[in-house]
Every structure is written in C-alpha cells, then in structure tokens.
Amino acid sequence: MIQLKRAYEPAKDSDGYRVLVERLWPRGLRKADAHLDDWLKDVAPSSELRRWFGHDPDRFSEFRTRYRRELHSEPARTALAALARRATRGRVTLVYSAHDEAHNNAVVLAQELQRRGARSRTRHARHSAAAHST
C-alpha cells in the first residue's frame, strides 16, 4: 500500500516505511524530526525538471509526462523497482515537501508505483492460472 505525506506532518507508526522522495532536503526540517527510513534522491525529478515545473499547476500535465520519462531511465528505474517491491510487502509512505498536495512529484510517483503493482499482480495471476491449467 502506498500513501503520501508532507514532510512537515508528524510521523505515525501507521506510516510504515517512510521514504523521502525529494532531491533536496525539506527546508526547515531537522533530520532527527523527519523519522525517515530512506531518502531516495534517485526517484526525485531532476533539478532541471523541478526548476522548469516550478510547482505551476498549469504545467503539471507536462511535468507528469517528463517525470515519467525520467523514472524509466537509470538510476531512477532501479530505485523505483526496489520501492515497488517494498510496496507489495507492506505500507510505504512517500514523503514530500511541496505545499500543493495535488500537483507534486510524489503524486506522480505513487501513480507509477500503483501501475507497476497492478502489472505485477496481473502477471502473477497469469502465471498462476497457467500453472494450474497444466
């Protein structure tokens, strides 16, 4: 299961595995207060893309397209695959610092992880069905 949470919200036990998905550390947040299990800079948007987007909701659709392209390239692809595997085993909370809860990289990342999880479950179901039919 995947959930999203702003870095400035208090951590809870129910968050599960907490991973920061930003290239830069959230301004004003002490590392001791973040309660993170990991910081995956490799799955964050590139500095160039982040600057281009500038958290402008009018650019979000194009941002999503460009960011997904980055997620399919290394080193993001490998880090994303590991995160997707972890999400199949338990709750993962993607921690982000943007003020806009609807237009940010964590939203796109969660969608991508959910898509990968759905593809994985479909593949697993097909393999199981094939094994039982023989």
| Contact present, 20 and 9 (Cβ < 8 Å) | no
| Contact present, 39 and 105 (Cβ < 8 Å) | no
The model's pLDDT over 24-57, given as tens digits with 9 standing for 90+, comes to 999 999 999 999 999 999 999 999 999 999 999 9
The model's pLDDT over 74-127, given as tens digits with 9 standing for 90+, comes to 999 999 999 999 999 999 999 999 999 999 999 999 999 999 876 655 554 555
pTM, two decimals, is 0.87
Which of 74, 76, 67, 70 has the alpha carbon at shortest distance from 106?
A: 67
